[in-house]
């Protein structure tokens, strides 16, 4: 039987550290539930010591999720470890993940500690974590730029104090595959007690080698891989979960290992994370990009039509891409809408379902044709990410202007019975609409990026707008959907602003 490689997902922790991503509790829980359905072994739910919001999100996930290990990150200090344990203590399978830098560059400029001090801190941190929880993971941060002999020593201390998982991170994405494999071999051959623990890797993609480095580590004995859906994360991101999993599946002849992932849930997980984080998936992204199973070249098309395997190494159905799509129109009822949502994996409460159905009817009337699964999914996600008392777009009126009249917009916002109406003039209708929202809410925001995509093909397609703003020193991403680009822009802008206000 092939050996098992455990998939450790850090979408909700390292992934959320991507600039502009600001997930609320309900959004995090929705992703966690989908990760559980995907078959992820360990979900790193967050970093509880960083904020009360993150603490509550980790705690809520720990209390809800039962199929996966729930992990909380903590620096190597008592306060962080205590906070992490408080957040995950109700989990069915809790894990504390503590970390400490081991490279000389980090010791000198960041920690300002000697090697001897770092050894003692690591020893104390693992011992503290182990006193709360039998499942403890230790990471020597910046391991790939650390002196190997010192790295071995710190790892040995962590194992002696009871760590059950040792994770080797390529924190700054510095390593190349052959070099990283050599480092992992060195740990296996030189660390006393390494056979008692699971050896893990966590690779960043600064040189575009995170997946390659992870696969190289698996080939020499690593049995846990830390990764994120769509490869999101700090700077250039993490190793991509879907790429790791499908590489293991497609090249089982070479790697001889397996995962517990239900690959048919990959596509939906990718779309969910993209929609909730506001980070679109590039078209040519491996596995989940919209071009991953598209063939433009005549030679390729001819080959695939004759025999799929001539130009495809996996089938679209392997990752859960539907071969058929149920469509709903303006005459479809609430029951059919609810069934389609559940087919797509969305289970809304009564209030949310009623709101989503009303929005579906509005869009179906505007579009005049049937709505696809992608359209309905986008509608559902508008209401999944509605959290607490948020401002909603109650109405808008725009004028494109003319020779003597500049473009203008009048918007009405509503929250818990309170209404605000504001008019603004701008360079265009979208600019005027966003200015009116800013004036109504009394905030300052700088636009960083603005993108528009069609969810489906055709002139009547729903427009999907993603806006990235800088508000009060924070970068936030908002997303909105409508047949009208101005309305979609207003919804996206408001979605981003609500993340700051909440």
323 within a domain of the structure (yes/no) = no
Asked if residue 139 and residue 7 are part of one domain, the reply reads: yes
The most confident of 243-247, 427-431, 452-456, 463-467, by mean pLDDT: 243-247
- The CA distance from 424 to 441, in Å, is 13
Domain count, the chain: 3
Asked if residue 140 and residue 92 are part of one domain, the reply reads: yes
Provide the pLDDT confidence category of residue 323 given band limits of 50, 70 and 90.
very low
Asked if residue 346 and residue 255 are part of one domain, the reply reads: no
Provide the pLDDT confidence category of residue 19 given band limits of 50, 70 and 90.
confident
Asked if residue 364 and residue 269 are part of one domain, the reply reads: no
Query: Of 95-104, 173-182, 480-489, which gets the smallest average pLDDT?
Result: 480-489
Provide the pLDDT confidence category of residue 294 given band limits of 50, 70 and 90.
low
Asked if residue 356 and residue 484 are part of one domain, the reply reads: no
Provide the 8-state DSSP code for 112. -
Provide the pLDDT confidence category of residue 302 given band limits of 50, 70 and 90.
low
322 within a domain of the structure (yes/no) = no
Which pair of structure tokens corresponds to residue 372? 């696809």
At a CB cut-off of 8 Å and minimum separation 6, what does 494 contact? 391, 392, 393, 413, 437, 478, 480
Asked if residue 80 and residue 162 are part of one domain, the reply reads: yes
pLDDT of residue 383: 74
Note the pTM of the prediction, 2 decimals.
Answer: 0.86
Q: Which helix (H) or strand (E) holds 217?
A: helix 210-219
Asked if residue 224 and residue 371 are part of one domain, the reply reads: no
For 477, what's the count of Cα atoms within 13 Å in the CB-facing half-sphere? 21
Asked if residue 448 and residue 373 are part of one domain, the reply reads: no
Q: Please give the residue that has the higher pLDDT: either 10 or 26.
A: 10
In terms of phi and psi (left: phi > 0; alpha: psi -120 to 50; beta: otherwise), the region of 106 is alpha
127 within a domain of the structure (yes/no) = yes
What is the number of other CB atoms lying within 10 angstroms of the CB of residue 483? 19
Domain span at 361: 334-384
The answer to whether residues 394 and 412 touch, using CB atoms and an 8 Å cutoff, is: yes
CATH number at residue 240: 3.20.20.70
301 within a domain of the structure (yes/no) = no
Whether the pLDDT of residue 85 is over 50: the answer is yes
Arithmetic mean of pLDDT over the chain? 90
For 297, what's the count of Cα atoms within 13 Å in the CB-facing half-sphere? 6
The pLDDT tens digits of the residues spanning 20-76 come to 888 888 889 999 999 999 999 999 999 999 999 999 999 999 999 999 999 999 999
pLDDT of residue 324: 46
Asked if residue 494 and residue 345 are part of one domain, the reply reads: no
pLDDT of residue 434: 95
Asked if residue 417 and residue 371 are part of one domain, the reply reads: no
């Amino acid at each position: 039987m092939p050996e098992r490689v455990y998939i450790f997902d850090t979408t909700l922790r390292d992934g959320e550290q991507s600039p502009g991503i600001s997930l609320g509790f309900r959004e995090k829980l929705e992703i966690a539930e989908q990760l559980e359905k995907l078959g992820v072994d360990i979900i790193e739910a967050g970093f509880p010591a960083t904020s009360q919001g993150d603490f509550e999100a980790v705690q809520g996930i720990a209390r809800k999720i039962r199929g996966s290990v729930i992990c909380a990150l903590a620096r190597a200090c008592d306060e962080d470890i205590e906070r992490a344990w408080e957040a995950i203590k109700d989990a069915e399978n809790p894990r504390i993940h503590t970390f400490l830098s081991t490279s000389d560059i980090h010791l000198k400029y960041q920690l300002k500690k000697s090697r001897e001090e770092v050894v003692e801190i690591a020893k104390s941190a693992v011992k503290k974590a182990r006193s709360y929880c039998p499942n403890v993971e230790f990471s020597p941060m910046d391991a790939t730029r650390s002196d190997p002999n010192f790295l071995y020593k710190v790892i040995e201390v962590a194992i002696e104090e009871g760590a059950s998982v040792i994770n080797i991170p390529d924190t700054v994405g510095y390593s190349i595959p052959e070099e990283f494999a050599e480092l992992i071999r060195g740990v296996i051959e030189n660390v006393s007690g390494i056979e008692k623990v699971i050896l893990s890797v966590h690779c960043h993609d600064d040189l575009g080698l995170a997946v390659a480095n992870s696969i190289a580590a698996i080939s020499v004995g690593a049995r846990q891989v830390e990764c994120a859906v769509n490869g999101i994360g700090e700077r250039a991101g993490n190793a991509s979960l879907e790429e790791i999993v499908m590489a293991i599946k497609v090249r089982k002849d070479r790697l001889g290992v397996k995962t517990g992932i239900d690959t048919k849930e990959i596509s939906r997980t990718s779309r969910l994370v993209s929609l909730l984080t506001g980070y679109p998936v590039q078209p040519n992204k491996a596995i989940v990009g919209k071009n991953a199973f598209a063939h433009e070249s005549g030679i390729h098309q001819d080959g695939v039509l004759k025999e799929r395997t001539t130009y495809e190494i996996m089938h679209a159905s392997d990752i859960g891409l539907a071969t058929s799509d149920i469509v709903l129109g303006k005459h479809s009822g609430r029951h059919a809408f609810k069934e389609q949502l559940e087919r797509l994996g969305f289970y809304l409460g009564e209030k949310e379902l009623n709101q989503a159905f009303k929005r579906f009817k509005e869009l179906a009337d505007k579009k005049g044709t049937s709505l696809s699964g992608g359209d309905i999914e986008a509608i559902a996600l508008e209401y999944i990410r509605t959290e607490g008392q948020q401002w909603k777009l109650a109405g808008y009126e725009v004028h494109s202007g003319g020779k003597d009249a500049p473009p203008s917009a009048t918007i009405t916002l509503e929250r818990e019975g309170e209404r605000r109406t504001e008019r603004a003039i701008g360079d265009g209708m979208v600019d005027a609409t966003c200015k009116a929202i800013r004036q109504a809410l009394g905030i300052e925001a700088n636009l960083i990026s603005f993108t528009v995509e069609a969810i489906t093909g055709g002139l009547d397609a729903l427009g999907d707008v993603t806006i990235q703003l800088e508000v009060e020193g924070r970068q936030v991403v908002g997303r909105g959907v409508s047949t009208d680009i101005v309305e979609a822009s207003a919804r996206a802008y408001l979605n981003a602003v609500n993340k700051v206000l909440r």
